[in-house]
């Protein structure tokens, strides 16, 4: 079976990725599965650039097909922050509980119609022949008023999806993988693969 390395060590993300790509004829490995330990400086200015930096770096190390994503939360009332800095927002080792509470505090006086936000995901694929492709997708929603839900990870407990009347952390993994930014971007990349 052919291998694809997904340039992440985030187990929550890998769980989603494996569910979304399960019908592909590839074994999908995380950096940990592939035995790769590397610090990659994500110094791009867009989600696409950061995803491409990760994909190319790992492809150059392994000569395998490599997928990488860069994703994050854009909160309109916070001038689209944390954006590409979502993982490093308020400091690299700051827990998402602290980050989520900080965002809720920032928006405590913001009226409902101005609480709009989106999750953005860019997927990059670097092939051993040097070609690269990217896809991008979003899921629109709002910032809720409290932390809710046990599923998902990161900002899921504060990201409210009006169509489902709950946060993405309250969706089942199967429901989330039908509508999420990562699922949409990965499904678009499946067509490229």
Rounded Cα distance, 42 and 54, in Å: 7
End-to-end CA distance of the chain: 15
Residue 70 known to be catalytic:
yes
Structure tokens that stand for 1 in this block? 């079976």
Structure tokens that stand for 132 in this block? 């690269």
Looking at 33, 69, 70, 97, which residue is catalytic? 70
Please identify which residue in the block is written with the tokens 């400091």: 91
Beta-ladder partners of 167: 160
Q: Quote the longest CA-to-CA distance of the chain.
A: 54
Rg (CA), the chain: 17
Q: Which residues contact 9 (CB under 8 A, 6 or more apart)?
A: 30, 31, 32
Structure tokens that stand for 40 in this block? 């990659």
**Which residues are known to be catalytic?**
70
């Amino acid at each position: 079976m052919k291998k694809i390395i997904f340039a992440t060590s985030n187990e929550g993300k890998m769980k989603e990725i494996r569910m979304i790509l399960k019908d592909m004829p590839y074994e999908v490995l995380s950096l940990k599965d592939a035995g790769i330990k590397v610090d990659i400086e994500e110094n791009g200015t867009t989600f696409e650039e950061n995803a491409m930096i990760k994909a190319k770096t790992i492809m150059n190390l392994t000569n395998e097909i490599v997928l990488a994503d860069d994703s994050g939360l854009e909160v309109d009332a916070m001038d689209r922050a944390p954006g590409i800095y979502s993982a490093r927002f308020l400091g690299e080792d700051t827990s998402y509980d602290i980050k989520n509470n900080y965002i809720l505090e920032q928006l405590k006086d913001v009226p409902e119609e101005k609480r709009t936000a989106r999750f953005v995901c860019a997927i990059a694929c670097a092939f051993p022949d040097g070609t690269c492709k990217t896809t991008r997708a979003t899921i629109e929603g709002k910032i809720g008023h409290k932390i809710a839900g046990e599923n998902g990870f990161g900002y899921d407990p504060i990201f409210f999806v009006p169509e489902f009347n709950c946060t993405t952390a309250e969706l089942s993994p199967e429901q989330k993988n039908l509508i999420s930014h990562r699922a949409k971007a990965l499904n678009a990349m499946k067509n490229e693969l």
